Amino acid sequence: MALRGERFVAAAVRAVRPRWHDARTREQAARYWSATGSDVSWQSNSHWRDGIGDQAFEEIGRDHWLIYQRFARALRIQAPGRVIEWGAGGGANAAAFAPRAQGFIAADISLDNLAECARQVKSACSTPLETRRIDLSNPTAAADGLQDACDTFLCLYVIELTVGVEAVRSILGIAQRVLRPGGMAFVQMKYHTGESYTRGWRGLAYTRNLASTTTFTIEEFWRLADECGLSPQLIYLVPHNRLDSRYAYYALIKPEADAEPW
């Protein structure tokens, strides 16, 4: 009987531990990304021009624009239209997409990131720009008033920084909410393989492994997007680049009400 009781307690501890780890990691992540942008490593992780250098900054925006164009041509999308970027950081993507957009909305946890992103966009073009701060206690509030209002939803180098599937589900739900029918969510995640070291690292010090906090298999993310009301159409894999490895890019379409299934 004593042994059975010990086994029960051990099983209960194993069941609770992931939730406890996630809660602790969420607190660490919120503190980290809400900090000021004066720290050089923080600026680097947020992809500020001063943090990663001119060449890497330009390369991020250029490479993502080229992948987007491949998706857009295949899906017969003419232009990005009105764009919202969820997790805009220091503006590397915004500076590349905003000059081609009708309007650009930058959303981020950090006010410093929003200010820097706005500075980069304004130095690159005169496209109308709006900034929105994401409150992690109620992230959907940053999308208020944008129901069916955007043509393109960007979320790049963000999902691996989040804590758990529910946080990612929330982001995909916001994308589904703000996109017009037929609009594209251009989303990137970090994929894991059969090797254990490629899986997420929640429960450890967040800043030590922040770019690998939450990972998925290719199929897992495809199915999650579909569950969130976005129809996966295309995938582009980048096994390695100057920043890291195992990047998967998805073209996710918000279905039209009368659209034929692919």
CB atoms within 10 A of CB 259: 12
Q: How does pLDDT run across 39-48, given as a tens digit for each residue?
A: 889 999 999 9
Q: Identify the CA nearest to 76 among candidates 204, 223, 233.
A: 233
The predicted structure's pLDDT at residue 32 = 86
Total structural domains within the chain: 1
Is residue 258 assigned to a domain? no
- pLDDT at position 199 over 90: no
**Half-sphere exposure of residue 12: CA atoms within 13 angstroms, side-chain side:** 6
Tokens 């701060």 found at: 133
- pLDDT at position 250 over 50: yes
Is residue 188 assigned to a domain? yes
Domain that holds residue 201: 2-253
CB atoms within 10 A of CB 130: 13
Q: pTM for the whole thing?
A: 0.87
Whichever domain contains 106, its CATH number is 3.40.50.150
Distance between CA 159 and CA 87 in Å, rounded?
A: 9
Return the ∠ at Cα 107 (arms to 71 and 259), rounded to 5°.
40
What helix, strand, coil percent values describe the chain, rounded to 5?
50, 20, 30
Distance between CA 187 and CA 261 in Å, rounded?
A: 21
The predicted structure's pLDDT at residue 8 = 43
Is residue 107 assigned to a domain? yes
Is residue 93 assigned to a domain? yes
